[in-house]
Every structure is written in C-alpha cells, then in structure tokens.
Amino acid sequence: MSEIRLIVGLGNPGREYDFTRHNAGFWWVDALAQQYSWSFRAESKFHGLVARGRLEGHELFLLKPQTFMNVSGRAVGALAQFYQIEPGQILVVHDELDLPPGGVKLKFGGGHGGHNGLKDIFSHLGTREFWRLRIGIGHPGERAAVVNYVLNAPRAEENGQIEHAVQRGLQVAPLVFSGKLEAAMLKLHSN
C-alpha cells in the first residue's frame, strides 16, 4: 500500500461559502494544516491554495481548489500531474450527504453519489481509484432541496457533530500518512 502524498479538501472559495456544509473538506484540511503549523499559499498553476510539509518521512501536499466545487478536478489533476502523484496516493476529503452529521468514513474508490466535485475529479484523473474521507453532513430529505442544503450553514447542533467528525478524522491522520489506510479505516469505523 503506497502512502498518501496529496490530500485535497473540497469546498467553494469565497467568504460567503466559508461556513456552508459543502465546505466540510476545507474545514478538515484547514484543521490539519493548523495542527502541523503549515500555511497555505495561492499557487495559480494548481488553481488552488497549497500547503506542503514533511510527515512520517515523506513530503505531503495539501490542496484547497479555488475553482469552485464543480470543477475541482482541474486543480487536483494539475498538481497530481506536476508532481507525478498516482491516484492511489490521493485522499479527497469531502462532505457526504449519505452520512449523518458526525459520521465519518474512509473508503477507496466507488461512485460519486451525485457529488459534482468528485465527478469532476473522476474525469480529470481518468479513474475513481483514489481514497476519500467522507464527512457526514446529513441529507435534507428530498433531492430537490440538496443544492440549497449544501450551500447553507449547518444548524448549531449539526455544527458540533460535524466538528466532532472532523476531529475523529484527524485522529487517524498519522495512520493515513504512513500508508496504513486499512488500519485507519478499522479505527475510524469501529468508534
């Protein structure tokens, strides 16, 4: 199992989106960067904000695409291609409608479940074979309400649950960095 070299947090750029459910991926990579005192810099050739550092003996990149969610793949593809990072060495952190607020799951491959950010990453990488850390935001109950739901801030009690999911995801981060993703899954999914 190869180690993770790139962690991508999905979200929308701009202050008006900072606290929306769709930005749960940004929240996670921000918390990770803060934990290791890494700072993000705008890198136009990667269409995003990039932080880099060394962990567990290897270089790791954090990426927050600044292209808007639906075209996240442009940023992911550009950075992965430039640094010759294989899809299996990428972890994409994103909001997940199919998990309740507070739920967090790690998985490899699979479908996009209607998530436009993942859809675009599939098309730019040419594969679904990458890791995802799915942060539960819950579902509004009906399909027609999804867009409005993800582009709004969570209610106070949901916010606390989502923050808890972010923290649980951070607890398994060292296992993820060292390529022990099966162990990370076991730890995360047995809590």
The pLDDT score that the predictor gives to residue 179 is 84
Question: DSSP secondary-structure letter at 21?
Answer: G
- In DSSP notation, 85-153 reads --GGGEEEEEEETTS-TT-EEEEES---TT-HHHHHHHHHHT-S-SEEEEEE----SSGGGHHHHHTSP
Residues of the chain with pLDDT below 50 are: none
Where does residue 57 rank: exposed (0-12), middle (13-18), buried (19+ CB within 10 A)? exposed
Interatomic CA distance for residues 165 and 159, integer angstroms: 10
Q: What is the per-residue pLDDT across 101-116, written as a single tens digit (0 to 9) for each?
A: 999 999 999 988 889 9
The answer to the question of whether 17 is labelled as a binding residue is: yes
Q: What is the pLDDT at residue 190?
A: 83
Indicate the residue type of 111. G
Annotated binding residue at 12?
no
pLDDT at 21: 96
Structural domains in the chain plus CATH codes? 6-189 (3.40.50.1470)
Indicate which residues carry an active-site annotation. 22
Q: Is 116 annotated as a binding residue?
A: yes
pLDDT at 79: 98
Could you tell me the two tokens for 149?
């739901």
Give the model's pLDDT for residue 191.
64
